[in-house]
Amino acid sequence: MKLLINLVRKDFKRNPAITTALVVFLILAALLMAGGLRVAGTMISAYDQLNQKAIPPEYLQMHKGEYDNEAVGHFAANQDGIQDFLTVEMLTINNASIIYQGETLEKVLMDNSFVVQNVGFDYLLNMDNQVATVKPGEVGVPVYYAEILGIAPGDLITLKKDDYIKDLKVATIIRDAQMNVAMTSSKRFLISPVDQLELSQKMGEWEYSFQFLLKEGVDTGVLEQAYQSANLPANGVAITGSLLNLYNVFSYGLVAMIIVAISLLLIFMAMLCLSYIIRATMAEEQKSVGEMKAIGFPGKSIEILFQMKYLTLMAVAGIIGYLGAIPFGNFFSEAVVRYCGTGSSPGLIWGLPFLGMFFFKRDGGIWMPSGYQKELKQHGDGIAPGIWGKASGRPLHPAVIRLQISQSDHRDRGTGLQMARIWGDLGGFCYLGVFDTTAHEYEKYHPGSVIYHLYGCR
């Protein structure tokens, strides 16, 4: 560990600007990668829980105007692929008639409908993701308005047309699996059946949504074609469950996608910095590389030595990024949690960032060896020729080499051991015992060679 610290310190001294940029890019890339994946994990978990509780339709057909209720019911009863069917009656009220704190909702570009709680599926949920309930005189307000207007439980919503005025107390904020996000141009307020009937006699116009749940394996395209062929009410848009999912995932996941994209860009920039550092390092370390190759070090062992400091930096950056992603991810997940809840899969929230850090470190580890191999081949071959065997052109055994590197004579009493002090550019020094005799005696008298242990060159 001390050696690695010395290596990193030397890099900072040699190339302070590039090395600092590398560290900053690595930490930011790790932070954004882990943070983006935490947001994505939160989104997937929360959206999945919302759908499990609310049970949104897989196909719906909007319609405005009169319709034959028996014809629609007969169609639903005779289609084998339909699991459940529901007609939602929505009382659409002009925004000029909806007043909050003395101001109308005319500035809000949304169609607002007042509905009662459904039975069977397509539930409106409260902020605990339980089926919301309201009493007469109360209203459940979409979370969208709670966010942009600051509406809270206990506030009053006033509905007014001509001389008619109806005050409704906000009982709860509701989540709507269909119309939660801002991308959908309609929002639903939850009221009691008594209030809906009263309001329908004074203001608003009816709009209907024919909603279908399908059996497993049934294609929504088949149902859509059958519905259109039956000439059923269709004075409005038709929406599939997959389109609803696309709206929601795009809205909730946009932040996560942007964060992850930025992190990938930073990783690319960090790899560019690393490539320059590797080239500069290997150019300055060619003497040390040649010395190690001359005394028998395999190229792989030299690679590992120089890789370790950068892999260590990446590991440290990954840990900092993972820990920093907790508050970072939570901050950018606030909107998802507000609209969908906290989710039911903690493994996704904690596991996705961990996998991201694993691949962050692994991909760097895969990329670096090829760079080192190229630089080692370029800078390491043919260095320190005086240490190589004259006949074979291969390095002699370390036990019989006469090292020609900063050699100072030290005589170890009783062993006849000549010591060579090797000052490499490796952030420190080590001692290599050199014998006039055999490798066997070298092992006998000096079995714990630092170089042998550190580089594994037996």
Q: What's the mean pLDDT in 212-235? A: 90
Statement: residue 331 has pLDDT above 60: yes
pLDDT level of residue 145 (50, 70, 90 thresholds): very high
The pLDDT mean for the chain works out to: 74
* Angstrom distance (rounded) from CA 456 to CA 458: 6
Q: Regarding predicted confidence, which is higher, 22 or 66? A: 66
* Angstrom distance (rounded) from CA 241 to CA 224: 12
Specify whether the backbone of 321 is left (phi greater than 0), alpha (psi in -120 to 50) or beta.
alpha
The H or E element that residue 92 is part of is strand 82-93
Q: Backbone phi, then psi, for 320, in 5-degree steps?
A: -60, -45
| Most confident listed range (16-20, 189-193, 248-252) | 189-193
Tokens encoding 9: 């310190």
Tens-digit pLDDT profile for residues 270-282: 777 767 766 766 6
- Judge residue 423's burial from the number of C-beta atoms within 10 Å of its C-beta, 0-12 exposed, 13-18 middle, 19 or more buried: exposed
At 113 the pLDDT is: 94
Statement: residue 80 has pLDDT above 80: yes
Tell me, rounded to whole angstroms, the distance of Cα 310 from its chain centroid.
Answer: 24
* Angstrom distance (rounded) from CA 60 to CA 243: 11
Q: What's the mean pLDDT in 274-300? A: 69
Q: Backbone phi, then psi, for 201, in 5-degree steps?
A: -85, -10
Tell me, rounded to whole angstroms, the distance of Cα 415 from its chain centroid.
Answer: 61
Instruction: Assign 3-state DSSP to the chain and report helix, strand, coil percentages, each to 5.
Output: 50, 20, 30
At 213 the pLDDT is: 93
Q: Is the pTM of this model over 0.75?
A: no
Statement: residue 175 has pLDDT above 90: yes
Q: Regarding predicted confidence, which is higher, 449 or 128? A: 128
Q: What angle do CA 81, 83, 87 make, to 5 degrees?
A: 110
Tens-digit pLDDT profile for residues 127-143: 999 999 999 999 999 99
Q: Regarding predicted confidence, which is higher, 432 or 34? A: 34
At 118 the pLDDT is: 94
At 146 the pLDDT is: 93
Q: Regarding predicted confidence, which is higher, 11 or 365? A: 11
pLDDT level of residue 117 (50, 70, 90 thresholds): very high
At 37 the pLDDT is: 82
